[in-house]
Structure 1
Amino acid sequence: MTTQRLRIFFSKGEEIKYVSHLDLVRAWERTLRRADLNLAYSRGFNPRPKLVFASALPVGFTGRAEMVDILLERPVNPQEFASRVVQELPAGLGLVSVKEIDTALPVLPNQLVAAEYEVLVESQDSLDAVQSRLDGLLAARNLPRRRERPDGDRVYDLRPLVYKLWIAGHHAHTYVVAMHLQAGGHGTGRPDEVMEALDMHRTVRAIERVRLLLSTA
Protein backbone atom coordinates (compact mmCIF):
# COMPACT_ATOMS: atom_id res chain seq x y z
CA MET A 1 0.00 0.00 0.00
CA THR A 2 1.37 3.42 -0.99
CA THR A 3 1.85 5.73 1.99
CA GLN A 4 4.04 8.51 0.58
CA ARG A 5 4.55 10.43 -2.65
CA LEU A 6 7.80 12.28 -3.22
CA ARG A 7 8.57 14.62 -6.09
CA ILE A 8 12.14 14.64 -7.38
CA PHE A 9 13.45 17.64 -9.28
CA PHE A 10 16.48 16.58 -11.28
CA SER A 11 18.80 17.72 -14.04
CA LYS A 12 19.72 15.86 -17.22
CA GLY A 13 23.12 17.01 -18.40
CA GLU A 14 25.19 17.05 -21.56
CA GLU A 15 26.66 13.61 -20.81
CA ILE A 16 23.30 11.90 -21.28
CA LYS A 17 21.32 14.26 -23.51
CA TYR A 18 21.16 11.58 -26.21
CA VAL A 19 19.81 8.96 -23.79
CA SER A 20 16.20 8.06 -24.61
CA HIS A 21 13.35 8.56 -22.16
CA LEU A 22 12.97 4.79 -21.75
CA ASP A 23 16.64 4.44 -20.81
CA LEU A 24 16.28 7.39 -18.44
CA VAL A 25 13.39 5.62 -16.69
CA ARG A 26 15.54 2.51 -16.33
CA ALA A 27 18.42 4.58 -14.93
CA TRP A 28 16.11 5.99 -12.25
CA GLU A 29 14.79 2.53 -11.42
CA ARG A 30 18.34 1.23 -10.92
CA THR A 31 19.29 4.27 -8.84
CA LEU A 32 16.30 3.93 -6.52
CA ARG A 33 16.83 0.19 -6.03
CA ARG A 34 20.48 0.75 -5.12
CA ALA A 35 19.43 3.46 -2.65
CA ASP A 36 17.58 0.71 -0.72
CA LEU A 37 14.25 2.51 -0.47
CA ASN A 38 10.84 0.99 0.23
CA LEU A 39 9.43 1.59 -3.23
CA ALA A 40 5.85 0.85 -4.21
CA TYR A 41 5.69 -1.57 -7.15
CA SER A 42 3.15 -2.24 -9.85
CA ARG A 43 1.38 -5.59 -9.85
CA GLY A 44 1.67 -8.37 -12.41
CA PHE A 45 4.34 -10.72 -13.72
CA ASN A 46 6.93 -7.95 -14.08
CA PRO A 47 6.55 -5.54 -11.13
CA ARG A 48 8.15 -2.12 -11.69
CA PRO A 49 8.73 0.77 -9.29
CA LYS A 50 5.92 3.31 -9.49
CA LEU A 51 7.55 6.31 -11.16
CA VAL A 52 5.56 9.03 -12.93
CA PHE A 53 7.44 11.60 -15.02
CA ALA A 54 5.94 15.00 -15.81
CA SER A 55 7.00 14.91 -19.46
CA ALA A 56 9.49 13.03 -21.60
CA LEU A 57 12.44 15.23 -22.54
CA PRO A 58 13.22 14.97 -26.28
CA VAL A 59 16.49 13.28 -27.17
CA GLY A 60 19.25 15.87 -27.58
CA PHE A 61 17.78 18.31 -25.03
CA THR A 62 19.19 18.92 -21.57
CA GLY A 63 16.94 19.61 -18.57
CA ARG A 64 17.58 21.86 -15.60
CA ALA A 65 14.65 20.91 -13.33
CA GLU A 66 12.83 17.84 -14.64
CA MET A 67 10.21 16.17 -12.43
CA VAL A 68 9.36 12.61 -11.45
CA ASP A 69 7.01 11.43 -8.70
CA ILE A 70 8.06 8.40 -6.65
CA LEU A 71 5.62 6.29 -4.64
CA LEU A 72 6.87 4.65 -1.43
CA GLU A 73 5.32 2.01 0.80
CA ARG A 74 7.05 3.33 3.91
CA PRO A 75 7.53 7.07 4.61
CA VAL A 76 11.03 8.52 4.59
CA ASN A 77 12.29 12.01 5.36
CA PRO A 78 12.91 13.85 2.06
CA GLN A 79 16.41 14.84 3.22
CA GLU A 80 17.29 11.23 4.01
CA PHE A 81 15.81 10.18 0.68
CA ALA A 82 17.99 12.74 -1.11
CA SER A 83 21.17 11.71 0.72
CA ARG A 84 20.65 8.07 -0.27
CA VAL A 85 19.77 8.79 -3.88
CA VAL A 86 22.54 11.28 -4.63
CA GLN A 87 25.19 8.65 -3.85
CA GLU A 88 23.78 6.31 -6.50
CA LEU A 89 23.14 8.71 -9.38
CA PRO A 90 24.98 8.00 -12.64
CA ALA A 91 27.00 10.68 -14.42
CA GLY A 92 24.77 13.22 -16.13
CA LEU A 93 21.89 12.98 -13.65
CA GLY A 94 21.76 15.55 -10.86
CA LEU A 95 19.45 15.82 -7.87
CA VAL A 96 18.07 19.36 -7.50
CA SER A 97 15.55 18.88 -4.68
CA VAL A 98 12.96 16.53 -3.16
CA LYS A 99 9.63 17.37 -1.56
CA GLU A 100 6.62 15.47 -0.28
CA ILE A 101 3.42 15.69 -2.34
CA ASP A 102 -0.19 15.04 -1.38
CA THR A 103 -1.13 11.59 -2.71
CA ALA A 104 -4.62 12.91 -3.54
CA LEU A 105 -3.33 15.32 -6.19
CA PRO A 106 -3.74 14.37 -9.87
CA VAL A 107 -0.96 12.40 -11.52
CA LEU A 108 1.97 14.58 -12.53
CA PRO A 109 1.39 14.70 -16.33
CA ASN A 110 -2.19 15.86 -15.76
CA GLN A 111 -0.90 18.87 -13.80
CA LEU A 112 1.50 20.02 -16.52
CA VAL A 113 0.45 23.25 -18.28
CA ALA A 114 3.62 24.87 -19.66
CA ALA A 115 7.39 24.61 -20.03
CA GLU A 116 10.20 27.13 -20.32
CA TYR A 117 13.18 26.61 -22.62
CA GLU A 118 16.44 28.32 -23.47
CA VAL A 119 17.92 27.85 -26.93
CA LEU A 120 21.55 28.67 -27.69
CA VAL A 121 21.80 29.79 -31.30
CA GLU A 122 24.39 31.48 -33.49
CA SER A 123 23.33 34.26 -35.85
CA GLN A 124 25.01 36.95 -37.91
CA ASP A 125 21.95 39.14 -37.35
CA SER A 126 22.16 42.15 -35.07
CA LEU A 127 20.39 42.19 -31.71
CA ASP A 128 17.65 44.38 -33.20
CA ALA A 129 17.22 42.01 -36.14
CA VAL A 130 16.87 38.97 -33.89
CA GLN A 131 14.38 40.85 -31.71
CA SER A 132 12.45 41.73 -34.86
CA ARG A 133 12.18 38.03 -35.73
CA LEU A 134 10.75 37.29 -32.29
CA ASP A 135 8.33 40.22 -32.46
CA GLY A 136 7.17 39.08 -35.88
CA LEU A 137 6.34 35.60 -34.63
CA LEU A 138 4.47 36.95 -31.60
CA ALA A 139 2.52 39.35 -33.84
CA ALA A 140 1.38 36.56 -36.16
CA ARG A 141 -2.28 35.57 -35.88
CA ASN A 142 -1.51 31.97 -36.78
CA LEU A 143 1.50 29.83 -37.69
CA PRO A 144 0.42 26.71 -39.60
CA ARG A 145 2.97 23.93 -39.18
CA ARG A 146 3.23 20.31 -40.21
CA ARG A 147 4.38 17.75 -37.65
CA GLU A 148 5.50 14.34 -38.90
CA ARG A 149 4.03 11.37 -37.03
CA PRO A 150 4.20 7.58 -37.55
CA ASP A 151 0.46 7.49 -38.24
CA GLY A 152 0.60 10.36 -40.71
CA ASP A 153 1.50 14.04 -40.79
CA ARG A 154 -0.58 16.46 -38.74
CA VAL A 155 -1.14 20.13 -39.57
CA TYR A 156 -1.50 22.38 -36.53
CA ASP A 157 -1.25 26.03 -35.48
CA LEU A 158 1.95 26.74 -33.53
CA ARG A 159 1.01 30.30 -32.55
CA PRO A 160 -1.36 29.58 -29.61
CA LEU A 161 1.27 27.26 -28.13
CA VAL A 162 3.78 30.12 -27.76
CA TYR A 163 3.03 32.18 -24.64
CA LYS A 164 6.22 34.24 -24.40
CA LEU A 165 9.39 34.67 -26.45
CA TRP A 166 12.39 36.80 -25.53
CA ILE A 167 16.17 37.20 -25.76
CA ALA A 168 17.63 36.04 -22.44
CA GLY A 169 21.22 36.89 -23.32
CA HIS A 170 23.68 37.45 -26.13
CA HIS A 171 27.40 37.79 -26.76
CA ALA A 172 28.85 38.68 -30.15
CA HIS A 173 26.92 36.46 -32.58
CA THR A 174 25.59 34.01 -30.01
CA TYR A 175 22.08 34.43 -28.59
CA VAL A 176 20.02 32.74 -25.89
CA VAL A 177 16.41 32.70 -27.05
CA ALA A 178 14.02 31.90 -24.20
CA MET A 179 10.45 30.77 -24.63
CA HIS A 180 7.44 29.89 -22.52
CA LEU A 181 5.40 27.24 -24.33
CA GLN A 182 2.17 25.39 -23.69
CA ALA A 183 2.61 21.79 -22.55
CA GLY A 184 0.35 18.93 -21.55
CA GLY A 185 -2.70 17.16 -22.84
CA HIS A 186 -4.19 20.17 -24.65
CA GLY A 187 -1.18 20.65 -26.90
CA THR A 188 2.58 20.95 -26.55
CA GLY A 189 4.83 23.52 -28.19
CA ARG A 190 8.31 22.36 -29.18
CA PRO A 191 11.25 24.79 -29.06
CA ASP A 192 12.87 23.29 -32.16
CA GLU A 193 9.70 24.03 -34.12
CA VAL A 194 9.64 27.59 -32.79
CA MET A 195 13.23 28.05 -33.97
CA GLU A 196 12.26 26.70 -37.38
CA ALA A 197 9.38 29.19 -37.54
CA LEU A 198 11.93 31.93 -36.75
CA ASP A 199 14.17 30.56 -39.55
CA MET A 200 16.99 30.18 -37.02
CA HIS A 201 16.97 26.40 -36.68
CA ARG A 202 20.04 25.70 -38.81
CA THR A 203 22.47 27.20 -36.28
CA VAL A 204 20.95 26.00 -33.00
CA ARG A 205 23.74 24.75 -30.73
CA ALA A 206 21.83 23.60 -27.63
CA ILE A 207 18.32 23.39 -26.20
CA GLU A 208 17.62 23.20 -22.47
CA ARG A 209 14.30 22.83 -20.70
CA VAL A 210 14.65 25.24 -17.80
CA ARG A 211 11.50 24.42 -15.86
CA LEU A 212 8.09 22.80 -16.00
CA LEU A 213 5.00 24.63 -14.79
CA LEU A 214 2.09 22.89 -13.07
CA SER A 215 -1.52 23.84 -12.45
CA THR A 216 -1.00 22.93 -8.79
CA ALA A 217 2.03 23.46 -6.56
Structure 2
Amino acid sequence: MVNIRVKFRRGEEVKFISHLDLMKVFERAIRRARLPIAYSQGFNPHPGMVFGLPLSVGVTSEAEYGDFEITDDSLSMNEFIERLNEQLPQGLEVLAAKQRQTKQNIMATISASEYVVMIGTGHECTEKSLKAGIGKYLSQKEIIVKKKTKSGVKDTDIRNMIFDLDFGLQPCGTFNMIKLTMLVSAGSKANLKPELLVESLFEMLGAGYEIDRIHRSKLYVKVQEELLDPMDGKVL
Protein backbone atom coordinates (compact mmCIF):
# COMPACT_ATOMS: atom_id res chain seq x y z
CA MET A 1 0.00 0.00 0.00
CA VAL A 2 1.32 3.43 -0.96
CA ASN A 3 0.02 6.73 0.41
CA ILE A 4 0.16 9.67 -2.00
CA ARG A 5 -0.48 13.36 -1.39
CA VAL A 6 -1.44 15.44 -4.41
CA LYS A 7 -1.70 19.17 -4.98
CA PHE A 8 -4.24 20.36 -7.52
CA ARG A 9 -5.84 23.52 -8.80
CA ARG A 10 -9.50 24.35 -9.17
CA GLY A 11 -10.23 26.94 -11.85
CA GLU A 12 -13.13 29.08 -12.99
CA GLU A 13 -14.67 26.20 -14.97
CA VAL A 14 -15.42 24.15 -11.84
CA LYS A 15 -15.71 26.75 -9.08
CA PHE A 16 -19.45 26.18 -8.65
CA ILE A 17 -19.34 22.45 -7.90
CA SER A 18 -19.80 21.33 -4.30
CA HIS A 19 -17.22 19.44 -2.26
CA LEU A 20 -19.29 16.27 -2.56
CA ASP A 21 -19.43 16.65 -6.35
CA LEU A 22 -15.68 17.24 -6.40
CA MET A 23 -15.13 13.91 -4.67
CA LYS A 24 -17.39 12.19 -7.20
CA VAL A 25 -15.46 13.77 -10.09
CA PHE A 26 -12.18 12.43 -8.73
CA GLU A 27 -13.69 9.01 -8.06
CA ARG A 28 -14.89 8.76 -11.68
CA ALA A 29 -11.57 10.03 -13.02
CA ILE A 30 -9.64 7.46 -10.99
CA ARG A 31 -11.90 4.69 -12.23
CA ARG A 32 -11.57 5.76 -15.89
CA ALA A 33 -7.79 6.12 -15.52
CA ARG A 34 -7.67 2.57 -14.12
CA LEU A 35 -5.54 3.71 -11.21
CA PRO A 36 -5.01 1.05 -8.51
CA ILE A 37 -6.87 2.87 -5.74
CA ALA A 38 -7.47 1.03 -2.47
CA TYR A 39 -11.05 0.58 -1.24
CA SER A 40 -12.45 0.30 2.27
CA GLN A 41 -13.92 -2.96 3.52
CA GLY A 42 -17.61 -3.54 4.15
CA PHE A 43 -20.97 -3.59 2.39
CA ASN A 44 -20.44 -0.22 0.67
CA PRO A 45 -16.69 0.17 -0.05
CA HIS A 46 -15.31 3.68 -0.59
CA PRO A 47 -12.14 4.67 -2.46
CA GLY A 48 -9.16 5.52 -0.29
CA MET A 49 -9.04 9.27 -0.78
CA VAL A 50 -9.36 12.22 1.60
CA PHE A 51 -9.36 15.90 0.64
CA GLY A 52 -8.21 18.92 2.60
CA LEU A 53 -10.26 21.89 3.74
CA PRO A 54 -13.45 22.00 1.62
CA LEU A 55 -13.56 24.98 -0.71
CA SER A 56 -16.67 27.17 -0.68
CA VAL A 57 -18.76 27.15 -3.84
CA GLY A 58 -17.69 29.97 -6.17
CA VAL A 59 -14.09 30.08 -4.93
CA THR A 60 -11.10 29.18 -7.13
CA SER A 61 -7.85 27.75 -5.84
CA GLU A 62 -4.29 26.91 -6.80
CA ALA A 63 -3.62 25.08 -3.52
CA GLU A 64 -5.98 22.14 -3.02
CA TYR A 65 -4.73 18.86 -1.58
CA GLY A 66 -5.84 15.27 -1.40
CA ASP A 67 -4.50 12.02 0.05
CA PHE A 68 -4.85 8.80 -1.95
CA GLU A 69 -4.12 5.17 -1.09
CA ILE A 70 -2.99 2.99 -3.98
CA THR A 71 -2.19 -0.71 -4.06
CA ASP A 72 0.63 -0.71 -6.63
CA ASP A 73 3.97 0.50 -5.25
CA SER A 74 5.56 0.36 -8.71
CA LEU A 75 3.40 3.23 -10.01
CA SER A 76 5.50 6.39 -10.38
CA MET A 77 4.27 9.78 -9.26
CA ASN A 78 4.58 11.15 -12.80
CA GLU A 79 2.44 8.34 -14.21
CA PHE A 80 -0.15 8.85 -11.47
CA ILE A 81 -0.38 12.55 -12.33
CA GLU A 82 -0.54 12.02 -16.10
CA ARG A 83 -3.19 9.30 -15.99
CA LEU A 84 -5.37 11.22 -13.55
CA ASN A 85 -5.09 14.54 -15.41
CA GLU A 86 -6.14 12.87 -18.66
CA GLN A 87 -9.50 12.03 -17.07
CA LEU A 88 -10.16 15.17 -15.04
CA PRO A 89 -12.43 17.87 -16.52
CA GLN A 90 -11.15 21.26 -17.61
CA GLY A 91 -10.48 23.41 -14.56
CA LEU A 92 -9.16 20.58 -12.40
CA GLU A 93 -5.47 19.77 -12.72
CA VAL A 94 -3.08 17.82 -10.51
CA LEU A 95 0.09 19.89 -10.13
CA ALA A 96 2.26 17.63 -7.98
CA ALA A 97 2.27 14.29 -6.16
CA LYS A 98 4.51 12.90 -3.43
CA GLN A 99 4.53 9.80 -1.27
CA ARG A 100 3.70 10.44 2.37
CA GLN A 101 4.70 8.55 5.50
CA THR A 102 2.64 10.38 8.11
CA LYS A 103 -0.48 8.64 9.37
CA GLN A 104 -2.36 11.92 9.70
CA ASN A 105 -4.43 12.73 6.62
CA ILE A 106 -4.60 16.16 5.05
CA MET A 107 -8.03 17.01 6.45
CA ALA A 108 -6.85 16.54 10.05
CA THR A 109 -3.73 18.69 9.76
CA ILE A 110 -4.66 21.93 7.95
CA SER A 111 -4.13 24.96 10.22
CA ALA A 112 -4.16 28.09 8.05
CA SER A 113 -5.20 29.33 4.65
CA GLU A 114 -4.25 32.27 2.45
CA TYR A 115 -6.90 33.94 0.29
CA VAL A 116 -6.78 36.71 -2.28
CA VAL A 117 -10.07 38.62 -2.42
CA MET A 118 -10.93 41.21 -5.07
CA ILE A 119 -13.46 43.78 -3.87
CA GLY A 120 -15.32 46.61 -5.56
CA THR A 121 -16.59 49.51 -3.45
CA GLY A 122 -18.27 51.87 -5.91
CA HIS A 123 -16.47 54.87 -4.43
CA GLU A 124 -12.99 56.36 -4.48
CA CYS A 125 -10.53 54.61 -2.20
CA THR A 126 -6.94 55.71 -1.65
CA GLU A 127 -3.99 53.72 -0.38
CA LYS A 128 -3.66 56.09 2.56
CA SER A 129 -7.28 55.75 3.69
CA LEU A 130 -7.29 51.98 3.25
CA LYS A 131 -4.03 51.56 5.16
CA ALA A 132 -5.45 53.60 8.02
CA GLY A 133 -8.70 51.64 8.00
CA ILE A 134 -7.03 48.23 8.02
CA GLY A 135 -4.62 49.40 10.72
CA LYS A 136 -7.57 50.44 12.88
CA TYR A 137 -9.34 47.15 12.17
CA LEU A 138 -6.34 45.05 13.21
CA SER A 139 -5.64 47.19 16.29
CA GLN A 140 -8.89 46.03 17.88
CA LYS A 141 -8.44 43.63 20.80
CA GLU A 142 -11.49 41.70 19.66
CA ILE A 143 -13.58 41.53 16.50
CA ILE A 144 -17.01 40.11 17.23
CA VAL A 145 -19.03 38.68 14.33
CA LYS A 146 -22.10 36.52 13.88
CA LYS A 147 -20.70 33.11 12.95
CA LYS A 148 -22.70 30.06 11.93
CA THR A 149 -21.90 26.95 13.96
CA LYS A 150 -23.41 23.48 14.20
CA SER A 151 -25.46 24.66 17.17
CA GLY A 152 -26.66 27.87 15.49
CA VAL A 153 -25.49 31.47 15.02
CA LYS A 154 -23.15 32.68 17.75
CA ASP A 155 -21.16 35.81 18.55
CA THR A 156 -17.54 34.88 17.85
CA ASP A 157 -14.30 36.78 18.32
CA ILE A 158 -12.28 36.31 15.11
CA ARG A 159 -9.33 38.58 15.97
CA ASN A 160 -7.06 35.68 16.91
CA MET A 161 -8.04 33.90 13.67
CA ILE A 162 -6.48 36.67 11.54
CA PHE A 163 -2.73 36.12 11.20
CA ASP A 164 -2.00 38.63 8.45
CA LEU A 165 -3.91 41.09 6.28
CA ASP A 166 -2.40 43.04 3.39
CA PHE A 167 -3.91 45.11 0.59
CA GLY A 168 -3.34 46.58 -2.83
CA LEU A 169 -5.28 48.77 -5.25
CA GLN A 170 -5.94 47.95 -8.90
CA PRO A 171 -7.53 50.42 -11.36
CA CYS A 172 -10.98 49.34 -12.48
CA GLY A 173 -12.94 51.89 -14.51
CA THR A 174 -13.59 55.04 -12.50
CA PHE A 175 -12.64 53.52 -9.14
CA ASN A 176 -9.95 51.24 -7.77
CA MET A 177 -10.52 47.57 -7.05
CA ILE A 178 -9.28 46.51 -3.61
CA LYS A 179 -7.10 43.41 -3.44
CA LEU A 180 -7.01 41.89 0.04
CA THR A 181 -4.52 39.13 0.81
CA MET A 182 -5.33 37.43 4.09
CA LEU A 183 -3.80 34.64 6.12
CA VAL A 184 -6.43 33.19 8.42
CA SER A 185 -7.06 30.24 10.68
CA ALA A 186 -8.37 27.17 8.88
CA GLY A 187 -9.28 23.61 9.76
CA SER A 188 -11.50 21.74 12.17
CA LYS A 189 -10.50 23.64 15.32
CA ALA A 190 -10.95 27.23 14.09
CA ASN A 191 -11.95 28.15 10.56
CA LEU A 192 -12.48 31.70 9.30
CA LYS A 193 -14.13 32.22 5.93
CA PRO A 194 -12.78 35.22 4.00
CA GLU A 195 -16.29 36.56 3.39
CA LEU A 196 -16.77 36.98 7.14
CA LEU A 197 -13.55 38.94 7.52
CA VAL A 198 -14.47 41.22 4.60
CA GLU A 199 -17.95 41.80 6.02
CA SER A 200 -16.61 42.81 9.44
CA LEU A 201 -13.89 45.02 7.93
CA PHE A 202 -16.25 47.03 5.74
CA GLU A 203 -18.82 47.26 8.52
CA MET A 204 -16.18 48.98 10.64
CA LEU A 205 -15.15 51.18 7.69
CA GLY A 206 -18.79 52.12 7.13
CA ALA A 207 -18.46 51.49 3.41
CA GLY A 208 -20.44 49.47 0.91
CA TYR A 209 -18.67 46.73 -1.01
CA GLU A 210 -19.10 43.86 -3.43
CA ILE A 211 -16.85 40.81 -3.57
CA ASP A 212 -15.78 40.23 -7.17
CA ARG A 213 -13.88 36.99 -6.65
CA ILE A 214 -12.14 34.87 -4.01
CA HIS A 215 -9.08 32.75 -4.70
CA ARG A 216 -7.33 30.40 -2.29
CA SER A 217 -3.60 30.73 -2.88
CA LYS A 218 -2.13 28.60 -0.08
CA LEU A 219 -2.93 26.07 2.63
CA TYR A 220 -0.65 25.44 5.58
CA VAL A 221 0.07 22.73 8.14
CA LYS A 222 1.42 23.79 11.53
CA VAL A 223 4.52 21.91 12.71
CA GLN A 224 6.09 23.10 15.97
CA GLU A 225 4.71 26.63 15.60
CA GLU A 226 5.89 26.81 11.97
CA LEU A 227 3.45 27.05 9.06
CA LEU A 228 4.53 24.69 6.28
CA ASP A 229 3.28 23.68 2.85
CA PRO A 230 1.40 20.34 3.01
CA MET A 231 3.90 18.95 0.46
CA ASP A 232 6.91 19.88 2.62
CA GLY A 233 9.16 16.99 3.64
CA LYS A 234 8.72 17.87 7.33
CA VAL A 235 4.97 17.36 6.94
CA LEU A 236 4.98 14.23 4.80
Q: Is the contact between residue 195 and residue 201 of structure 1 (CA under 8 Å) also seen in structure 2?
A: no
Offset of residue 169 of structure 1: 5.3
Aligned to 2:137: 137
Offset of residue 213 of structure 1: 0.3
Please give the secondary structure, in 1, of the residue aligned with 2:13. helix
What do the CA deviations read for 1:20-76 (whole angstroms, capped 9, x no partner)?
A: 100001001111111111101112222121111111001111111100001111122
In 1: Cα distance, 2:154 partner to 2:50 partner: 28
In 2: Cα distance, 1:201 partner to 1:72 partner: 50
Q: Is the contact between residue 6 and residue 94 of structure 2 (CA under 8 Å) also seen in structure 1?
A: yes
In 2: Cα distance, 1:211 partner to 1:203 partner: 23
Aligned to 2:214: 207
Aligned to 2:77: 78
What do the CA deviations read for 1:74-95 (whole angstroms, capped 9, x no partner)?
A: 1221011111111111122122
The range that moved more, 111-120 or 191-200, is 191-200
Please give the secondary structure, in 1, of the residue aligned with 2:83. helix
In 2: Cα distance, 1:84 partner to 1:201 partner: 47
Aligned to 2:32: 34
In 1: Cα distance, 2:136 partner to 2:180 partner: 14
User: Unaligned regions of 5+ residues in structure 2, if any?
Assistant: 223-234
1:44 to 23, 42, 45: 42
Residue 95 of structure 2 is aligned to residue 88 of structure 1: no
The TM-score with structure 1 as length reference comes to: 0.92
Offset of residue 150 of structure 1: 5.9
Offset of residue 134 of structure 1: 1.7
Q: Report 1:1-217 matches (<5 A).
A: 3-75=1-73, 76-102=75-101, 104-123=102-121, 124-149=124-149, 151-168=151-168, 170-172=170-172, 173-199=176-202, 202-215=209-222, 216-217=235-236
Q: Is the contact between residue 115 and residue 215 of structure 2 (CA under 8 Å) also seen in structure 1?
A: yes
In 2: Cα distance, 1:90 partner to 1:5 partner: 24
Runs of 4+ in 1 over 2 A off after TM superposition: 148-151, 168-172
What do the CA deviations read for 1:119-147 (whole angstroms, capped 9, x no partner)?
A: 01123311222222221221110001111
Please give the secondary structure, in 2, of the residue aligned with 1:91. coil
In 2: Cα distance, 1:85 partner to 1:146 partner: 41
Q: What is the count of residue pairs matched by the alignment?
A: 214
Q: Is the contact between residue 9 and residue 64 of structure 2 (CA under 8 Å) also seen in structure 1?
A: yes
% same residue: 28
CA-atom RMSD in angstroms: 1.6
Q: Is the contact between residue 53 and residue 108 of structure 1 (CA under 8 Å) also seen in structure 2?
A: yes
Q: Is the contact between residue 119 and residue 204 of structure 1 (CA under 8 Å) also seen in structure 2?
A: yes
In 2: Cα distance, 1:86 partner to 1:23 partner: 17
Q: Is the contact between residue 147 and residue 153 of structure 2 (CA under 8 Å) also seen in structure 1?
A: yes
In 2: Cα distance, 1:149 partner to 1:156 partner: 10
Please give the secondary structure, in 2, of the residue aligned with 1:153. strand
The TM-score with structure 2 as length reference comes to: 0.85
What do the CA deviations read for 1:140-178 (whole angstroms, capped 9, x no partner)?
A: 100011113464212211111000000155335112110
- Which amino acid counterpart does residue 141 of structure 2 have in structure 1? R
